[in-house]
Structure 1
Amino acid sequence: MARTITTSPAERPRVLVLTGSYLPGVRAGGPVRSMQNLLTQLGHEVQFDLVTLDRDLGDATPYPNIEHRAWNQVGGQRVRYVPPGLRGLLERWRILRETPYDLLYLHSFFHVSNTTWSLALRAAGLIARRPVLLAPRGEFSPGALGLNAGKKRLFLQLIQATGLMKDVTFQATSATEQDDIRRMFPRAAVVYAPNLIAPPEDLFRPPRAPGPLRIAFVGRVNRMKNLDYALRVLQGVQTPVHLKLVGSREDEAYWAECEALLATLPDTVQVEVVGHVPPEDVRDIFLWSDVLLLPTLGENFGHVIAEALLAGSIPVISDRTPWQDLEARGSGFTIPLDQPERFTAVLGDLGTSPALLERTALGAAAYGRELAVDRQGLEQNRALFKVS
């Protein structure tokens, strides 16, 4: 998968990216896909050098077939894999000192080893004071801040007191995130550039066979994705349902709570626990499913929502994502979390009305085709890296 390279890339704007997880990692979900899509579409114009952890989210051992303390070639870009702990901090410091770059691109506000450490070194004059672009990736949303709220509030207060964010530019990927960032840092410079989706492939969605409503829940099993809420919603659905639960178990205690709820579902709900699937296989899940059910507490973007639309699977989601126009487009349903009965009613309607199901699925696929040719979003991302 990876090989060490020693040749210098062609002269292009050079962006040094510090991100918590990247390929071959998959368990971090959306952030990995966001970065992969960006590199796929702009990597020929910008030299991205990535620094990331040497293991997947939750793993105790490094990836096989990578070179430590060396640049690896991954998908046309250079990637440096660093270990956790003190060794990783020292390795990052050396990379920040020795690697030429025009812009430092930090992913995650709360990532101490990447963001806080880099900004502290910069403030102390231990690395060059280059421009910094920070993408919080939805971490300032009310839903995200509500998890471990006390620790995050204290961390924010400490960072604000130190002045580390002075002259840092924030990237917002939605209008809602712009507001979230300005609420935390009213004087900060904020630029808007949306997440990019993967270039579309030719997808064949087979004609729907008769049978129960096919629902996919796709996401890591943690409180943020709100699986327990989805299961409670399904307790009231009377129409036959085939539910697939797709995603790795990130929180075993939370999964135990969900297992208890699974036992309370009516006999009309057939449940298939799929677990983790490779990202390239998620599209097959959506080609199978009629509905993506995702009552999330918050999504910075929601790559699975875009992937569902591309496959013609109908998103039935919470109002805590940027996808607020689904119903206006006839392509899905965005429902406030304080209306669980409406989730239940919508799923019931989709399960009993073939005409509604077909009409909304066609609307979802049409929206997906429109997303796939979003030239404006590409230009906005391109503008981020025009370093003078």
Structure 2
Amino acid sequence: MKTIFISIPWFVPAFKAGGPIQSIANMVNELNEGYQFYIYTSNTDLHGLPIAVAVTNEWVEYNAYTKVWYANKKDRSQNLVEQVKLLRPDSLYIVGLFDWHFNIVPLLYAECADKVLSVRGMLHPGALSQKAIKKKVFIQGLKWMKADKKYRFHATDKTEAGYINNIFGEEARVMVAGNFPRLFPEQGFARKAGGSLKLISIGIISPMKNYLLVIQALQQASGNVQYDIYGPVKEPRYWEECLEAIKRLPSNVKVFYHPELPSHKVLHKLQGQQVFILPSKSENYGHAIVEALSAGLPVITSDTVPWLGLEEARAGLNVNLEEES
């Protein structure tokens, strides 16, 4: 049996940090033969919000072949390094690039011959444009560490592999393996009545998700529109811009914001809606998009996500962001 040690800033029951949590949860739920997983994570959700876990700073069972260590802030890095040394995993799988405790520390100090760096969309040009100075510093540090020679990289598709090679060079060792989706059974969604529309978005509130573009577009709506937004605010200043734009919407457009949506409630919230909309500037995978499509809900998104050809498949629409901006 192969032992995999996973270092990730947040994990279930955390959910506000978005896709990587769902990606790893899906992976350890599906790969149930021949692997033993140890997931080292924080005892918080996004922005340091506490999560409901009974035990911290020791291994607890997640499923038959997965254990999780919910680390307190104190000695977080030291405990990670010690646990890797004790467990001697076959591979150390590091989720993300820019977190000190869960990305940089295991790269620098943990003892494992096979370290795999999963970039999870963080090298997409759109993602790099956010908080660019900090990210440039971290990337230069990785280059100084000779990451292209010491570690393997995990890309979820060929496009992401190209982003890795663009930054770390063609000699970087890149594995391409797609995400494990969570698929819903097809649902019977609400029929669209003439002159009305029900929209839903699920995702972190940040410029990357492009909520402001949707809100501004709704200023031109002539029929009755209900728009439900689900997701924690990651960028408060951006959300303030969105709120100002919402104030300028005509009376026929109603926007309802819901700050939290745990993973197990997603399907319930999709039911009764008519269109899922999320024109992201970039997506490493787009779990919410996949889940909406799998449940049979039409999707409007951008042409910079992995899920293209929606119009041809009669499943939705990919919009060109440059034309819409």
Specify the TM-score bucket, using the shorter chain as the normaliser. Answer: over 0.9
Q: Does 1:305 align with 2:294?
A: no
Q: Does 1:237 align with 2:225?
A: no
Amino acid in structure 2 at the alignment position of 1:95? Q
Match of 1:283, SS? helix
Q: Does 1:227 align with 2:215?
A: no
The answer as to whether partners of 2:157 and 2:176 remain within 8 angstroms in 1 is yes
The answer as to whether partners of 2:189 and 2:297 remain within 8 angstroms in 1 is no
Of 226, 233, 237, which aligns to 1:249?
A: 233
Q: Does 1:157 align with 2:140?
A: yes
Q: Which stretch of structure 1 is more off in the superposition, 86-95 or 295-304?
A: 86-95
Match of 1:33, SS? helix
Q: Which runs of 5+ in 1 are unaligned?
A: 1-11, 342-388
Q: Does 1:115 align with 2:103?
A: yes
d(CA) in 1 for partners of 2:13, 2:265: 15
d(CA) in 1 for partners of 2:174, 2:265: 35
d(CA) in 1 for partners of 2:130, 2:189: 40
Structure 1 residues 202 and 314: CA distance shift in structure 2, 3 A: closer
Q: Which residue of 2 aligns with 1:70?
A: 58
d(CA) in 1 for partners of 2:56, 2:296: 42
* TM-score with structure 2 setting the length: 0.93
Match of 2:199, SS? strand
Structure 1 residues 282 and 201: CA distance shift in structure 2, 3 A: closer
- Give the number of the structure whose alpha-carbon radius of gyration is greater: 1
Query: Higher strand proportion, which one?
Result: 2
d(CA) in 2 for partners of 1:297, 1:53: 28
d(CA) in 2 for partners of 1:305, 1:188: 30
Q: CA deviation at 1:44?
A: 3.3
Amino acid in structure 1 at the alignment position of 2:57? R
Q: Which residue of 1 aligns with 2:35?
A: 46
Amino acid in structure 1 at the alignment position of 2:43? D
d(CA) in 1 for partners of 2:40, 2:121: 21
Q: Which residue of 2 aligns with 1:93?
A: 81
The answer as to whether partners of 1:213 and 1:242 remain within 8 angstroms in 2 is yes
- The count of corresponding residues between Structure 1 and Structure 2 is 322
Match of 1:58, SS? helix
Q: Which residue of 2 aligns with 1:7?
A: none
d(CA) in 2 for partners of 1:114, 1:26: 17
Q: Which residue of 2 aligns with 1:174?
A: 157
Q: CA deviation at 1:139?
A: 0.3
The answer as to whether partners of 1:140 and 1:177 remain within 8 angstroms in 2 is yes
Of 115, 119, 131, which aligns to 1:132?
A: 115
Identity of aligned residues (%): 27
Amino acid in structure 1 at the alignment position of 2:113? R
d(CA) in 2 for partners of 1:213, 1:207: 10
Runs ≥4 residues deviating over 6 A: none
- Within 5 Å, which residues of 2 pair with 1:297-376? 297-340=281-324
d(CA) in 2 for partners of 1:93, 1:310: 40
The answer as to whether partners of 2:189 and 2:274 remain within 8 angstroms in 1 is no
Q: CA deviation at 1:206?
A: 4.5
Amino acid in structure 2 at the alignment position of 1:72? V
Of 124, 127, 143, which aligns to 1:141?
A: 124
The answer as to whether partners of 2:81 and 2:106 remain within 8 angstroms in 1 is yes
Amino acid in structure 1 at the alignment position of 2:188? R
d(CA) in 2 for partners of 1:115, 1:259: 34
Q: CA deviation at 1:332?
A: 1.3
Amino acid in structure 2 at the alignment position of 1:27? K
- Within 5 Å, which residues of 2 pair with 1:2-17? 12-17=1-6
d(CA) in 2 for partners of 1:230, 1:195: 27
Q: Deviations over 1:252-272 (max 9, x none)?
A: 222221111101112221222
